[in-house]
Amino acid sequence: LISLHFYRAGGAESFFGKKKGIDEKLSYYTAILAITFFVLSILMIVFLR
């Protein structure tokens, strides 16, 4: 999650400049994706044992 956050901050801000709306939306969706991926990976680890 931390590495994703740093990747987003570095990539999105240099990409879009200072367009706050896009960056806020992107951070929101990135957080959802990261959490979803985290939960799915835990579920797969539990069920595929």
Q: How far apart are CA 49 and CA 45, in angstroms?
A: 6
What percent of the chain lies above the pLDDT cut of 90? 24
Sorted by sequence, the CB contacts under 8 Å of residue 4 that are 6+ apart come out as 30, 34
Q: Are 23 and 12 in contact (CB under 8 A)?
A: yes
pLDDT attached to residue 20: 63
pLDDT attached to residue 40: 92
pLDDT attached to residue 10: 52
| DSSP single-letter state for residue 16 | H
Between 33 and 20, the higher pLDDT residue:
33
User: In this model, does residue 47 exceed pLDDT 80?
Assistant: yes
Q: Are 33 and 18 in contact (CB under 8 A)?
A: no
User: In this model, does residue 36 exceed pLDDT 90?
Assistant: yes
Sorted by sequence, the CB contacts under 8 Å of residue 34 that are 6+ apart come out as 1, 4, 5
